[in-house]
């Protein structure tokens, strides 16, 4: 990649981080997308500054031919529009070559979720996995159970969960203060099951029969020896797949984000109002939360079609 292209992209990402509080995951995604576009330009003897509308159109066509989904292509186009909007505002380009490009038509897929009974099977599987274990295997199973209970109890994003600072425990034991996207803070309550699982995790090493040393005080609530200093999203997701298999569930249907969907859907199903669910999930826009009402509508339709005596006539 040309040095000028790299500098322009880096400057834009710095602005995203400093002025909009973009998360590291968001910055990494934008960086990959924009570097890919810069690479495409290079093969067509162009650069970020000199790109024209036909370059953007050709890039999107190439992505489609490569089999990239409409959602992924729309995300790439959004990244390009925002980059050039930034460069145009700074006087670094004369026009935004992505402004006239048409985004691929998107269907709005309903989020995948689990039933209450399926979530119960996951919890029971995680709890049973603790039995009979000792040493590090026991500690790992207790930690996973605490993570799982907290994820479903709060609806946190998995990145928020694994990177919880230990200081989050300094306030009211019944709630956690979570810092989400854009640095926005929100309160999420802990139910009794999650609190008990967390207390058991925090007590690791206090019983001599466990053969463990007490948890060392660190910055993170769920520390790890890895480079990040805490349990990673990937490691937790792999443990969750294994737990799903032990629970007799299809691992492909189960992920940390599916449990977040289950949290929201189950709350709405039991009468929670949309605004409350929005606040608990940390959605900036309530339209993002509204998708869960469609999940309930589809479920109700299915029940009627399957069980109403006149539905098949």
d(CA 281, CA 160): 11
Burial of 303 (0-12, 13-18, 19+ CB in 10 A): exposed
276 within a domain of the structure (yes/no): no
Q: Is 213 part of a structural domain of the chain? A: yes
**DSSP H or E stretch at residue 179:** strand 175-179
> Is residue 271 in a domain?
no
Residues 128 and 81 in one domain: no
| Per annotation, catalytic residue among 166, 241, 257, 299 | 257
243 and 125 assigned to the same domain = yes
Domain co-membership, 246 together with 125: yes
Q: What is the mean pLDDT of the chain?
A: 85
pLDDT at site 297 = 55
Strand partners, 180: none
Catalytic residue among 49, 112, 133, 181: 181
Look at residue 149 in the predicted model and tell me its pLDDT: 97
Which of 13, 39, 15 lies closest to 26 in space, CA to CA?
A: 13
Out of 121, 260, 261, 266, pick the active-site residue: 260
pLDDT at site 201: 93
Give domain status of residue 298, yes or no.
Answer: no
Same-domain check for residues 130 and 203: yes
Domain that includes residue 81, residue range: 3-89
Task: Yes or no: say if 119 and 207 are a contact pair by the CB < 8 Å rule.
Answer: no
Banded model confidence at residue 312, pLDDT cuts 50, 70, 90: low
16 with 27: CB under 8 angstroms? Answer: yes
C-beta separation of 28 from 73 below 8 A? no
Q: How many domains does the chain contain in total?
A: 2
Q: Which residues pair with 188 in a beta bridge?
A: 176
CA-CA-CA-CA torsion sign (103, 68, 62, 5): positive
Any domain includes 292: no
Catalytic pick from 55, 73, 261, 283?
283
Question: Percentage of the chain surpassing pLDDT 90?
Answer: 41
Catalytic residue chosen out of the listed positions 55, 86, 121, 157: 157
Q: Based on the domain organization, do 77 and 156 belong to the same domain?
A: no
Q: For residue range 214-268, what is the model confidence (pLDDT) as tens digits?
A: 666 789 999 988 888 899 999 999 999 999 999 999 999 999 999 999 998 888 8
What pLDDT score was predicted for residue 303? Answer: 46
184-208, pLDDT tens digit by residue?
888 888 999 999 999 999 988 776 6
Catalytic site residue 201?
no
Whether residue 123 is found in the same domain as residue 218: yes
- Give mean pLDDT, residues 148-168: 93
Q: Are 241 and 250 in contact (CB under 8 A)?
A: no
Nearest residue to 183 via CA among 2, 10, 19, 46: 19
Same domain, 134 and 235: yes
Q: Are residues 129 and 231 in the same domain?
A: yes
Query: Is 181 noted as a catalytic residue in this protein?
Result: yes
Say if residues 48 and 8 touch (Cβ distance below 8 Å). yes
**Average pLDDT of the segment spanning 273-285:** 84
Does residue 160 form part of some domain? yes
Distance (Å, rounded) from C-alpha 64 to C-alpha 53? 17
Q: Quick one: 75 and 16 in the same domain?
A: yes
Q: Known catalytic residue: 30? A: no
Query: Looking at the domain assignment, is residue 169 inside a domain?
Result: yes
SS3 269: helix
Task: Please tell me whether residue 149 adopts helix, strand or coil conformation.
Answer: helix
Q: Once rounded to an integer, what is the mean pLDDT over residues 93-114? A: 76
Do 138 and 85 belong together in one domain? no
Would the pLDDT of 107 be above 60? no
């Amino acid at each position: 990649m040309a040095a000028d292209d790299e500098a322009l992209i880096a400057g834009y990402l710095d602005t995203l981080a400093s002025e909009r509080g973009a998360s590291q995951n968001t910055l990494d995604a934008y960086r990959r997308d924009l570097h890919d576009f810069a690479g495409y330009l290079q093969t067509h003897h162009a650069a970020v500054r000199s790109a024209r509308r036909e370059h953007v159109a050709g890039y999107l066509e190439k992505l489609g031919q490569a089999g990239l989904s409409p959602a992924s292509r729309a995300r790439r186009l959004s990244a390009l529009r925002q980059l050039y909007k930034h460069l145009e505002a700074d006087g670094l380009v004369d026009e935004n070559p992505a402004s006239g490009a048409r985004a691929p038509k998107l269907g709005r897929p309903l989020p995948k979720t689990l039933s209450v009974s399926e979530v119960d099977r996951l919890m029971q599987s995680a709890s049973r996995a603790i039995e009979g274990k000792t040493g590090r295997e026991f500690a790992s199973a207790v930690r996973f159970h605490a993570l799982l209970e907290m994820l479903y109890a709060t609806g946190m994003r998995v990145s928020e969960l694994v990177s919880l600072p230990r200081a989050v425990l300094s306030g009211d034991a019944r709630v956690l203060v979570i810092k989400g996207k854009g640095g926005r803070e929100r309160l999420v309550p802990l139910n009794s099951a999650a609190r008990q699982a967390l207390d058991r995790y925090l007590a690791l090493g206090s019983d001599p029969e466990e053969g463990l040393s007490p948890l060392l005080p660190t910055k993170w609530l769920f520390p790890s020896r890895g480079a990040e200093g805490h349990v990673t999203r990937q490691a937790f997701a792999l443990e969750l797949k294994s737990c799903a298999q032990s629970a007799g569930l299809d691992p492909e249907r189960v992920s940390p984000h599916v449990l977040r969907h289950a949290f929201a859907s189950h709350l709405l199903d039991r009468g929670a109002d949309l605004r409350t669910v929005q606040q608990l999930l940390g959605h900036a826009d309530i339209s993002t939360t509204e998708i869960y009402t469609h999940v309930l509508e589809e479920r109700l339709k299915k029940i009627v079609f399957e069980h109403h005596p006149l539905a098949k006539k």
